[in-house]
Amino acid sequence: MTRRLALVALLALTACPRLDPMQRQQKYKAYQESRFTADGLAMMHPPPGTVPYGPPLEPAVATGRGPDGKPLAVMPVKIDAALLARGRLRFDTNCAICHGVLGDGESQVALNMSLRRPPSLHLYRDRPDGYIFQVISQGFGLMPSYAHLTVQDRWAVVAYVRALQLSQHATVEQVPQEARQRLEKEGR
Ligand code: HEC
């Protein structure tokens, strides 16, 4: 039986001598020329009248502003564990290099950005959620815009920034009971 299996494996190997990963298939890259399109560009415009797929975003969700034009005090997206996990991932990937993994502004980049150090995000605890969303979406001063993150991901980052802020300014009363006992046992 094992010998037969080995034979099958050997045949399979000789039948496809080289695995050709999909990266190496023929394809167009953005901004390349194309012989197939009328204007000779690989990137095509959507046909006229195309509408985005999916329900339109509410203006407050898309902009972080209320009807009065002011930044929303409380984010308009439901916060749950999945959103926070997403926010952490996005924060660690996009923001931590400058603002530090704890959001305290301690990072290697910050040490070397002599013109304007990325500030500690704990200084922005009293800013409305919508304001943080706008800074991410539009950038601020020397900080570039992170509008390439989806709207949902930007709100996820806002939620995670709030969690970081709380983590550094929480009182013992806010620590869950079982974790509190552990803290007390460790004498901290
Ligand atoms: C390349 C480094 C860099 C990255 C990455 C970065 N920032 Fe910043 N951020 C800065 C700098 C520098 C400032 C201060 C800009 C100024 O005052 O000109 C700043 C300012 C801020 C402020 C304060 C704005 C104010 O009102 O003063 C917030 C909030 C903020 N960043 C959040 C974020 C978040 C959230 C992310 C990730 C999506 C992020 N930043 C990514 C460099 C960065």
Tens digit of each residue's pLDDT (9 = 90 or more) over 102-146: 999 999 888 898 889 999 999 999 999 999 999 999 999 999 999
Tens digit of each residue's pLDDT (9 = 90 or more) over 51-109: 877 788 899 999 999 999 999 999 999 999 999 999 999 999 999 999 999 999 999 88
Atom of ligand 1 nearest to the CA of 116: 12
Split into its structural domains, the chain has a count of 1
Evaluate whether residue 161 is within a structural domain: yes
Q: How far apart are CA 159 and CA 129, in angstroms?
A: 8
146 ligand 1 Cβ < 6 A? yes
What backbone torsions phi and psi does residue 9 show, to the nearest 5 degrees?
Answer: -60, -40
156 ligand 1 Cβ < 6 A? no
Q: Is the model's pLDDT at 4 over the cut of 80?
A: no
CATH number, residue 88: 1.10.760.10
Q: Decide: helix, strand or coil at residue 100.
A: coil
Q: What stretches of 16-107 show up as alpha helix (H) in DSSP?
A: 59-63, 81-94, 96-99
* pLDDT score, position 89: 98
Q: How many CA atoms lie within 13 A of 57 on its CB side?
A: 12
Pocket residue to mutate for ligand 1, from 93, 140, 155, 160, most atoms within 8 A of Cβ: 140
Q: Tell me the whole-structure pTM to 2 decimals.
A: 0.76
136 ligand 1 Cβ < 6 A? yes
* pLDDT score, position 17: 55
Q: Is the model's pLDDT at 20 over the cut of 70?
A: no
Nearest to 111 by CA among 94, 98, 121: 98
Evaluate whether residue 6 is within a structural domain: no
* pLDDT score, position 80: 97
Contact 12, 20 (CB under 8 A): no
Evaluate whether residue 52 is within a structural domain: no
Evaluate whether residue 21 is within a structural domain: no
Q: How many residues does the chain have?
A: 188
Evaluate whether residue 58 is within a structural domain: no
Evaluate whether residue 115 is within a structural domain: yes
Evaluate whether residue 50 is within a structural domain: no
126 ligand 1 Cβ < 6 A? no
Domain span at residue 70? 65-185
Evaluate whether residue 17 is within a structural domain: no
* pLDDT score, position 166: 94
Contact 73, 128 (CB under 8 A): yes
Tens digit of each residue's pLDDT (9 = 90 or more) over 21-48: 666 788 888 899 999 888 999 998 888 8
Instruction: Name the residue with tokens 């080289």.
Output: 18
28 ligand 1 Cβ < 6 A? no
Contact 84, 163 (CB under 8 A): yes
119 ligand 1 Cβ < 6 A? yes
Residue 65: strand pairing partners: 71
* pLDDT score, position 26: 84
Atom of ligand 1 nearest to the CA of 158: 35
Nearest CA, atom 18, ligand 1: 141
